[in-house]
Structure 1
Amino acid sequence: MCSQHSLRFYIENKRQDMIKAAENFGMNAEITIKHSQELDELLNQYWRVVFETNENPVVKFS
């Protein structure tokens, strides 16, 4: 399982991918939705790590 720090990195990258896809192809494009679903999974993983390890959550994503 990834660390909280590495998950924040992956989350931010996926968020940027989703934004770029939405700008280029639209909000309802398959690629945008795929990035959104992948981002959801990363966020779920992040919170699992936070609660399982009792780490202090860092909730600010740039």
Structure 2
Amino acid sequence: MGLIDKQILSVMIFIKRTEMVEKAKNRGLTHPEVVACSQELDILLNRYQKIA
């Protein structure tokens, strides 16, 4: 993965984190949509760490 891929992944992480925070504000931390969003964010963060 190159620099561009890392930058794209950074943007994807920012977007997913923002989405998760908004859902948590509206639905609560344990809502299934929030948990699913958190799991998706974890996957993105793990991918980012592998290339960092």
Percent identical among aligned pairs is 36
1:13-43: per-residue Cα shift (whole Å, max 9, x none)? 0000100110010000000000100000000
Gaps of 5+ in 1: 51-62
Number of aligned residues: 50
Query: How far apart are the structure 2 equivalents of 1:26 and 1:19?
Result: 10
Indicate the structure with greater helix content.
Answer: 2
Higher relative contact order (CA 8 A, sep 6+): 2
Q: Which has the larger radius of gyration?
A: 1
What is the match of residue 31 of structure 1?
A: 33
Aligned-residue RMSD, C-alpha: 1.3
Residue 46 of structure 2 corresponds to which residue in structure 1?
Answer: 44
TM-score, L = length of structure 2: 0.89
SS in 2 for 1:19: helix
Give the Cα–Cα distance (whole angstroms) in 1 for the partners of residues 36 and 51 of structure 2: 23
Q: Which runs of 5+ in 2 are unaligned?
A: none
Q: Find runs of 4+ consecutive structure 1 residues off by over 3 angstroms.
A: none
